[in-house]
Amino acid sequence: MTNPRRIIGIQKVRPATAGDCAACPAESVGLFSGAFRRQRAYLIDGFRIVQVAPQETLYGLGDTAEYVFLMRYGLMKLVRYSAAGDERIVRLAGKGDTFGLEALSAKSYRHTAVALGEAALCRVPAQVILGQEKSDPRFVERVMTVMQAELDSADLFLTELSTGGAHTRVARLLLYLAEREGGRECLLPMRDEIGALLGITMETASRVTAEFRRSGLIRPAADPQRVALDLPGLTSLASG
């Protein structure tokens, strides 16, 4: 399997503004809730908004961990590769999620982060977060809450998305993606990504999605990268 293109350092990056922070999808639940609003002028000085194109790499496994990332929109896959180069997606980060928290305690990233589609993130220097810990006694509690959410998300991939037959797994994945977006549509990952997410072969992922199309469980959406879902039908299948 071919590793994603490495374009670190040439994504579109710009300073964050107060308007960006006011509209941040992670503000009410993320690391900077509460104190974030009170100390915005100080905190956002080092923040950067990063836009990443589909299938491009934000950072790689083993890269120096300097930043924590907050998702503004889109989906990022967090990937590990076997010695043979096979991809295993261990988590998806979507709108409002935080990832790269290892930058707070480790020297290097433990996964490769790749955009599934167009994505925008807030890049926060780890040193800003560590400095906030000293001025806000409740900060450690928020860090632990976010880290627990990351563990819960990883557990999802180890249980619901990695058990059951292929049709059940694909149905659960589509419902999960639609739930993250709060609608009846979702981005349809490529067949190799579906395989890497669910622990099935690319050929099986292709066959199952083709069957879903023929049966009307998924239908074309206005955006060719997305599909409209038959939520009741997929929900029934996902419970099998």
- The yes-or-no verdict on residue 41 having pLDDT over 70 is no
Domains in the chain with CATH codes:
5-156 (2.60.120.10), 166-238 (1.10.10.10)
Question: Phi/psi at 56 (nearest 5 deg)?
Answer: -100, 150
DSSP tag of 3: P
Structure confidence by residue, pLDDT tens digits, 78-93: 998 877 778 888 889 9
Task: Give 210 or 95, the one with higher predicted confidence.
Answer: 210
DSSP 3-state of 22: helix
C-alpha separations of 138 from 32, 127, 141, 145 in Å: 10, 17, 5, 11
pLDDT band at 8 (very low <50, low <70, confident <90, very high): very low
* Predicted TM-score of the model (pTM): 0.84
Terminal alpha carbon distance of the chain? 31
